[in-house]
Amino acid sequence: MAPSKTHVCPWWLIHTFDNPLRRLVQKPERILHDIVRPGDVCLDLGCGIGYFTIPMAGIVGPSGSVTAADLQPEMLAGVKSRAGKAGLSSRIRLHQVDSSGLHFEAAFDFALGFWMMHEVPDQGSLLQQIRAVLKPGGQFLLVEPKGHVRQAAFDRTVGLAEKAGLTKVKPLDIFFSRAVLMINRSGSAA
């Protein structure tokens, strides 16, 4: 992932983004309901303290799993605590990434990058790694905050994702966000 510390949202600030008021305008279940299915193996990149991880674990059910990946151990500790309270610990794997890359052995049906890609200095490398861990036909939802990421910057990121081998499926309408659903067409019928 390779962000420098100056570009990463500090763990102590996460509650400004992860709070009950946000659920009024960005309900994870509503955003993910047409994408994530029971039994899916999912990846939540830059998971924070689990705003999407916990609901995603509910959607995938007991036969699926969610890997919560973050640079900061404090974020992963938050996911662990919340997963325990929700009774979903058995469906959630915690994975601390570092500046050298993602280091996954698993293949995922779905990956989520919600409001985190703008923190990554080498987006092209990360997007190549995401494509590499997606199963053929696996989907990636890229979401960036409108107030922080201009359209031109978002378009550049989408272009890097396409260069990495992901194909745009459709834009999604998510409050205060720029969002596109992409698919890994490698090894699958186009």
CATH classification for the domain delimited by 37-184, as one of 3.40.50.970, 3.40.50.150, 3.30.210.10, 3.40.250.10:
3.40.50.150
3-state class of 182 per DSSP?
Answer: strand
- Model pLDDT for residues 108-148, shown as the tens digit of each residue: 999 999 999 999 999 999 999 999 999 999 999 999 999 89
Could you give the CA distance from residue 34 to residue 154 in angstroms, rounded to a whole number? 23
- Model pLDDT for residues 39-96, shown as the tens digit of each residue: 999 999 999 999 999 999 999 999 999 999 999 999 999 999 999 999 999 999 999 9
Segment 150-169 shows an average pLDDT of 98
9 vs 176, residue with greater confidence: 176
Question: Residues 16-33, buried b or exposed e (16+ Cβ, 10 A)?
Answer: eebeeeeeeebebeebbe
If DSSP states are collapsed to H, E and C, what string results for 78-96?
HHHHHHHHHCCHHHEEEEE
pLDDT on residue 2: 41
